[in-house]
Amino acid sequence: MRTRMRWVWAVVGLAVIAAACAPNAQQDSLNPQGPYADKVYDLFVPVFWIATAVFVVVEGLLIFFVIRYRRRKNRPAQMPPQIHGNNRLEIAWTILPALILAGVAVPTVTTIFDLAREPEGNALEVNVMGHQWWWEFDYPAEDINTANELHIPTGRPVLLTLCAVGLGYEDKPTPSDCQPGPPDGDQPAAIGDGVIHSFWVPELAGTQDVLPGQANTLLIQADRPGRYSGQCKEFCGLSHAYMKFAVVAHAPDDYEAWVRNEQADAVTPDPGSLAATGMDVFLNGQCIACHAVQGLEDANGNPVVANGGPNLTHFADRECFAGCWLPTDDAEELARWLDDPAAVKEGSWMPDYGLTPEEIDALVAYLHSLT
């Protein structure tokens, strides 16, 4: 049995070394950065140590018994006492774990209700719509619609209302569209065929599923400015892995500046520039069937407000696109995406329109001009 012990120590040692040299994880639930994540973490840590203690005791007993009661070579095999049980012991080891667990249950229940409580003070409200496979963020009070990057001020709770939507909805959706239509014969809210997603930004809060036909809420808050990585957690089809997002927390003043920029109309490129050509491609092609650009008008003078895909008004102001999978400033990646979206993200609902390389270059220039 010495070999067994050696293995155990080897594995433990390896794990310690491995943990030490593991790089900093970017999306780490053990690195809480706001009060809601803190509450969960503060519950996780004591439970983890209790579990570790139980593990050491029970696993230790097992190993001790294996060593202590093994048949030894130098002693004749002999029938051990036939112990059938011991009621007092049985009751003890039924009650003891029950007590430990009851101890764990108390903070668990208080934290559940703590997390479900309405925030005090002035929470920022944002509607979150999960699409296959990107995130739409809608700020009703600020009249801002953006994608894949959720900008928030530090030190202020953010109340998210979440639901999943599909292709082919009308108008600008709000989470009230997530409720199924009334049974009196009205048409259903046109939300399309959404699938279930799950909103998770571990450094700021726990998970909340994002359902079609049901509006859920989640509170997040960041204490420090920074960029917090998030990801869809519920399997949602082909490009589930490519459905990331980021929460960008700004100091309150910086946040106000961001809001002002987002509220402004899109920049119009200088006439004659490559970006201006790109704008023509954008307006004359299929792009405006799905993408909105605030302040832009199509050939008939109608505003460009379609919302099957992300709102592009301030596309270049976002660090990432395509479900936050690709960096916006990488012109090559953007060109690759425009050329054949489904080759980059399998199943992408954005079709390959057969754009020429010249058109793609122009579009890249135009999109990069949308700060």
Partner 1 sequence: MASVSVPSDGSTRGLFRRPAATTGFWSWLTTVDHKKIGILYGVTAFAFFIIGGSEALLIRLQLAQPNQELLSPSVYNEVFTMHGVTMVFLVVMPLSAAFINYLIPLMIGARDVAFPRLNAFSYWAFLFGGIFVYSSWFLGGAPNGGWFGYAPNAVLDPTRGMTFYAIGLLMTGVASTVSAVNLAVTILNMRAPGMTLFRMPVFVWMSLVVQFLLAFSLPIISVALFELLFDKRFGTHFFDSVAGGDPVLWQHLFWLFGHPEVYILVLPAMGIVSEVLPVFSRKPLFGYQFVVFSGIAIGFIGFGVWVHHMYAVGLGPIANTAFGISTIIIAVPTGVKIFNWLGTMWKGDLTFPTPMLFSIGFVSMFIIGGLSGVTHSVVPSDYQQTDTYYVVAHFHYVLFGGAIFGLFAGMFYWWPKAFGRKLSEGLGKVSFWTMLVGFNLTFGPMHILGLQGMPRRIQTYPEELGLTFYNLVSTIGAFTIALSVLLFLANVVITHRKPRGAEADPWDARTLEWLTTSPPPEHNFDEIPRVHSLDEAWHRKYAETEGGAVVPVPAGGSGVAVEHAGGHEGGHGIHLPSPSYYPLVASIGMFVLGYGVIFSWLLAGAGAVIMLAGFYGWALEPSAE
Partner 2 sequence: MQESAAVHAFESEHEATSTGLPNTKLAMWIFLASDVLLFGALITSYVVYRGRSIVGPYPNDVFDIPYTSVSSFVLLASSLTMVLALSSVQRGDLPRLRLWLLATALLGLTFVGGQVYEFTTFYEEGLSLTTNLFGTTFYVLTGFHGTHVAIGILMLLTLFSLSFGGRITQRDSLTVELVGLYWHFVDIVWIVIFTVVYLVPTGP
By C-alpha distance, which of 340, 302, 304, 341 is closest to 323? 341
Regarding 188 and contact with partner 2 (CB under 8 A), the answer is: yes
Stretch that binds partner 2, among 161-169, 181-189, 216-224, 245-253 (CB under 8 A): 181-189
Regarding 226 and contact with partner 1 (CB under 8 A), the answer is: no
Regarding 237 and contact with partner 2 (CB under 8 A), the answer is: no
- Identify the residue among 187, 271, 272, 354 touching partner 2 (CB under 8 A): 187
CA distances from 197 to 135, 181, 188, 240, 350 (A): 10, 21, 21, 9, 19
- Identify the residue among 6, 176, 180, 224 touching partner 1 (CB under 8 A): 180
| Interface positions, 84-143, toward partner 1 (CB under 8 A) | 84-86, 89-90, 93-94, 97-98, 101-102, 104-105, 108-109, 111-113, 115-116
| Beta-bridge partners for 128 | 137, 162
Regarding 332 and contact with partner 2 (CB under 8 A), the answer is: no
Sign of the dihedral through C-alpha 311, 300, 368, 322: positive
| Interface positions, 298-327, toward partner 1 (CB under 8 A) | 325
Helix (H, G, I), strand (E, B) or coil at 125: strand
CA distances from 266 to 88, 231, 314, 356 (A): 77, 28, 6, 25
Instruction: Please choose which of partner 2, partner 1, none residue 184 contacts, taking the beta carbon within 5 to 8 angstroms, the exact cut-off set by kind.
Output: partner 2
Regarding 168 and contact with partner 2 (CB under 8 A), the answer is: no
Regarding 181 and contact with partner 2 (CB under 8 A), the answer is: yes
- Identify the residue among 143, 170, 193, 358 touching partner 1 (CB under 8 A): 193
Residue type, 71: R
Cα 159 to Cα 28: distance, rounded to the nearest angstrom? 22
Q: Which is nearer to partner 1, 27 or 273 (CB)?
A: 27
Q: Considering the complex, what minimum distance in angstroms separates the CB of residue 300 from partner 1?
A: 31
Q: Across 221-302, where does the E strand assignment appear?
A: 226-232, 244-250, 293-297
Regarding 166 and contact with partner 2 (CB under 8 A), the answer is: no
| Beta-bridge partners for 77 | none
Regarding 118 and contact with partner 2 (CB under 8 A), the answer is: no
Phi, psi of 327 (to 5 degrees): -80, 130
Other C-beta atoms closer than 10 Å to the C-beta of 213 total 15
Q: Considering the complex, what minimum distance in angstroms separates the CB of residue 130 from partner 2?
A: 22
Q: Which is nearer to partner 1, 189 or 355 (CB)?
A: 189
Instruction: Please choose which of partner 1, partner 2, none residue 186 contacts, taking the beta carbon within 5 to 8 angstroms, the exact cut-off set by kind.
Output: partner 2
CA dihedral 8, 10, 11, 16 (to 10 degrees): 120
Regarding 237 and contact with partner 1 (CB under 8 A), the answer is: yes
- Find where tokens 């650009």 sit: 293
Total interface residues for partner 1 by CB under 8 A: 103
Q: Which is nearer to partner 1, 84 or 301 (CB)?
A: 84
Regarding 183 and contact with partner 2 (CB under 8 A), the answer is: yes
Stretch that binds partner 1, among 136-144, 240-248, 268-276, 303-311 (CB under 8 A): 240-248
Report the b/e string of 263-290 with b at 16+ CB within 10 A.
Answer: eeebbebeeeebbbbbbebbbeeebbeb
Q: Which is nearer to partner 1, 174 or 217 (CB)?
A: 217
- Please say whether the beta carbons of 104 and 45 come within 8 A: no
Helix (H, G, I), strand (E, B) or coil at 202: coil
- Identify the residue among 46, 60, 180, 303 touching partner 2 (CB under 8 A): 180
Q: Which is nearer to partner 2, 185 or 354 (CB)?
A: 185
| Interface positions, 34-63, toward partner 1 (CB under 8 A) | 39-40, 43-44, 47-48, 51, 54-55, 58-59, 61-62
By C-alpha distance, which of 107, 108, 112, 146 is closest to 126? 146
Sign of the dihedral through C-alpha 322, 324, 327, 328: positive
Regarding 276 and contact with partner 1 (CB under 8 A), the answer is: no
Site residues for partner 2 per CB under 8 A: 180-188
